[in-house]
Structure 1
Amino acid sequence: MSPQQQAETSHDPNAIPIEAELVARAQALGPVLRANAERTETDRRVAPENLEELRNAGLLRLTAPKTRGGFGASIRTQIEVGLALGRACPSTAWVAAIYNGVKPMTLMLSDAAREEFYRDGPDVTVCSVASVHGEAVRVDGGVRFSGTWAAASGCEDARWALLGIPLPDAAGGRPSAATVLVPLEDLRVKDTWHVAGMLGTGSQSLVADEVPVPEHRIISAAVAPSGGSGFPAALKLAATLNLLAPVVGAALGALDTVRDTLGSGRGIIASVYQDTTASPSAQMWLGEADHLIDRAVRLVTSAAGAADAALTGDPLTPRERSALRMDMVAAVENARSAMSKLLDLNGTAAFSRSNPLQRYWRDMETGSRHAQFNPFITREDYGRLTVGIESTVSLLV
């Protein structure tokens, strides 16, 4: 059965599907997401129809626990879904990655906070800005905070936000980093997302003005509300991989676009070739781009498999985690190299506003600069570990 046929088969949204079906559903959404990609970019937020299709396909409940009606999908499946969505619309895939990738953080919340969070069901949407900003003061029963948090992808369609704040020490000492869960209705969205790529992610700023947060919705580094020992390293990797999938997916979409163009019989200007595919050098260029993208996909899915294994087996060592982040950086660099070759093959026509290739290119160049994929800090950590320095400079490892 084809992905399209599988998606068209009626399914119970509350039933837990086999994970291959989830990937097939994502692939089947391709035509809709591609059709709405330009509008998503123009409106600077994901088209409502895209979100509705994601919700109907169950692709906003991938990481919600099964006890809450979610699918509890493997990291590998999350990434394969992200690749498929990114192949059609990287902005939509990025927002879906945020909504799914952030949900596991609720494992660190108190039972009462999780009850509030999942009150609207497993498809509940949440955005996040993990970096610490603003000011906070302790009040009776919790904290009150103010500040601005930039680049909150998908915030305009989110129900909740997880924001990093400086949590005042109860004894009067220095504040410590903490995360608060806040309803979007308590925050103000500020229009600041005017960028070159990933325009459709709606990554606006969130503004808080003396917003109260009860103690049970605070995740403190000093206290694990659920009695746990902290956020598993494998789930930190999963959050990064969820964002990487749309970036590599953009390269897959670009490859599809160039193949379609070359398949139309287009020739090479100022050459004897009336059909580009007749040129051995063009064949080689396309083949190298295809191989680079295939290698990027293999690196990403392999890293996802390693993270899955760590959730049920022995935890990853710092060196293993660093090596996986090196693989993620390599995937980004392979995808970028492939994109450059695809642009060469398409020529200046690729930069026409009507050509989806330029959107894939801009989305990749913007999305791949996220702090999670920092290439030089990732290499610095790996080098330090190689010579036996156990302390890392990245807060992600």
Structure 2
Amino acid sequence: MRKFLLIMIMSMFLFSLAFGNRGIAEAAEPIKIGYLAPYVGVFAKFGSDLRDGFKLYLEEIGNKVAGRQIIFIDEDTEGKPEVGLVKTKKLVEKDHVQILAGIISSGVAYAVRDYVIASKVPLVITNAGATKLTQEQRSPFIFRTSFANCQQDLAGGWYAYAKMGARKVIMMGSDYAAGHEKAAGFKKTFKFMGGEVVEETYPPLGTNDFAPYLAKVANYVGKVDRTWAFFAGSDAIRFVNQYQEYGLKEKLKLFCEEGVTDEANLPSQKEAALGVESYARYCIGHDSSENKRFVREYRKKYNYDPGSLSEGGYVGAKFIVKALEAVKGKIENQEAFLKALRSVKFEAPRGPVRFDEHQNVIFNTFIQRVEKKDGKYNNIVVDMIPDVDQYWMPKK
């Protein structure tokens, strides 16, 4: 009997030792984050800014959370929906990532939606504003830490009417999902307040020569109060420079979405952007201790100024890590991780951030203006609209 008990005890000991060590090994396995961004084409600079901001936060925490290493695997979507889907499948099926993040283009975001949901891999969008993904096409697996494509635009449309005194505008934006969705947000509140949209023009993504479109704008000088614009990346640089070259800058002032005069574009726009006003989720000139620290560390690391994409990547990484901390790094317990992610809130460089009930971020919207100081062009804060969510509406 004693011999039998001794054998049983030894067997249990060896079993617990073997499987206990296995459990420890599993717990110490790295957490893999798959990152999607474009590094060529129209959005190339925005893609690298988004990645740099994300990696900066990971480096600040030593690329570890709850004792587990974080492995960052990025793929170039080229800003193309079909390429984005292929790269997403590669990250999930070959690299076995547990979290997906990034994405600049709304077209890419819409293209990967169904696959993400079917694969049940959480996606944290750090830029693409594809509105439907946190509204009628929302999913428990899709979060957005940047903005919905109508969001700050709703605040911008109200501000143009109520604070700038604009009553008539013409609108120009890139002819793809984000251009139309952002325009819809601006129009909704501008018209709600009593404003009139006289003309809308949507040049193709990647337009090199805006002259035919600017000729139309010239016809409205003295007839409307502002030109609203949304372009991003190299399109934004060309648009702003050509708007000035065509002699329109002082005759019909611009009021833009943040991507037009993002910090990433200003070194190439320079005087053409000086004085241009826009509405934005992030402004480098925001006077807070957290933003000053972020700008200082970003400049130290990369030797250039952070823009909205840089801050967007940084904030997205922090949302993910805060949720991982809450579940002690146990990403395998997906239900607990998703629940923790929904509850994350903190003080970001842009100000306080948190999710709404449909997993889209809520933030303050800045009104900003490009100014020049010591030979350098940057955006400064002119005004601020608090707590703007994707369903925001003003009172008349």
Larger relative helix fraction: 1
TM norm. shorter chain > 0.5: no
- Give the TM-score normalised by structure 1: 0.28
